[in-house]
Amino acid sequence: MKKKLIAGNWKMNGNTASNAALLQALVSASASLSGGASGGASGGASWACRAAVCVPAVYLAQARALVQGTALELGAQDVSAHAAGAYTGEVSAEMLQDLGCRLVIVGHSERRQYHGETDALVAAKAQKALAAGITPIVCVGETLAEHEAGATEDVVKRQLAAVIHTNGHCISEIVVAYEPVWAIGTGKTASPEMAQQVHAVLRAQLRAATPNADRVHILYGGSMNAANAAQLLSQPDVDGGLVGGASLKAPDFLSIIAAAG
Ligand code: 13P
């Protein structure tokens, strides 16, 4: 069985001092589980699940220095759909790779909503990440209005279809995150049954596209916290979490990691 994946999305939060404190707390918790402050000779993996932090791009170098050789994986929050060149302000997949990123979030609802990102652009970003050897965490999810109109399945299938269409046989290399927009930062969570229902729809869509669909992690995101994580993560198609607010507090994030064990 694949290990669950718990990824923290710090969004636009942090500074050098708070990042160092948070990462040191996470790393030392992992090291103490593996039997020593140094994390053992290999810096060994200590958690039963995979754990990652997706930090603001300007702090990737700082975070890399603190997590290198530990169980904590490094990720980014966005990537350019272009390879290189005259795209002021953009960060390419190769740059992320150069900085040690293994993961990058693409198509977060905040980028779709505030930056006008379309399904096609999100698919192109996923493609650039894959080409650089970085796993894209492709976010899908319906708004409150779409939820209330009963359009949830249509929306998430349309969003994932664009990524499948563009990425073809590489699709088993992505991670999908189901993040109902109405649950993000609101304290409202999809019930475990509701999350499972949507995850099962996404799994079926992946199965139609690849024989390796069961390898794909489908994460739940949206007010996941220390209290509700275990129940959400117990669902058969919930392979982990994409955690916003609770990933900024070491004890909360560590509780969610423990719940995924
Ligand atoms: P919250 O956990 O703060 O609701 O955020 C979820 C999210 O958007 C993760 O990408």
pLDDT at position 40 is 44
Q: How far apart are CA 113 and CA 170, in angstroms?
A: 27
CB of 29 within 8 A of CB of 250? yes
The sign one gets for the Cα dihedral 232, 233, 238, 242 is: positive
Arithmetic mean of pLDDT over the chain: 95
Atom of ligand 1 nearest to the CA of 108: 10
Which one of the listed residues 73, 108, 147, 217 is annotated catalytic? 108
pLDDT at position 32 is 82
Average pLDDT over residues 177-197: 95
Atom of ligand 1 nearest to the CA of 245: 3
pLDDT at position 37 is 47
Residue 108 is among the residues annotated as catalytic for this protein: yes
pLDDT at position 180 is 98
184 CA to centre of ligand 1 in angstroms: 5
Atom of ligand 1 nearest to the CA of 139: 10
- At 108-123, the pLDDT tens digits run 999 999 999 999 999 9
Q: Which residues pair with 177 in a beta bridge?
A: 139, 219
CB of 159 within 8 A of CB of 181? no
pLDDT band with cut points at 50, 70 and 90 for residue 133: very high
The phi-psi region of residue 168 (left if phi > 0; otherwise alpha if psi is between -120 and 50; otherwise beta) is: left
pLDDT band with cut points at 50, 70 and 90 for residue 44: low
Give this prediction's pTM. 0.95
pLDDT at position 38 is 47
Asked if residue 180 has its Cβ within 6 Å of ligand 1, the reply is: no
Q: How far apart are CA 47 and CA 25, in angstroms?
A: 14
Which one of the listed residues 110, 173, 179, 199 is annotated catalytic? 179
Residue 165 is among the residues annotated as catalytic for this protein: no
Q: How far apart are CA 24 and CA 118, in angstroms?
A: 37
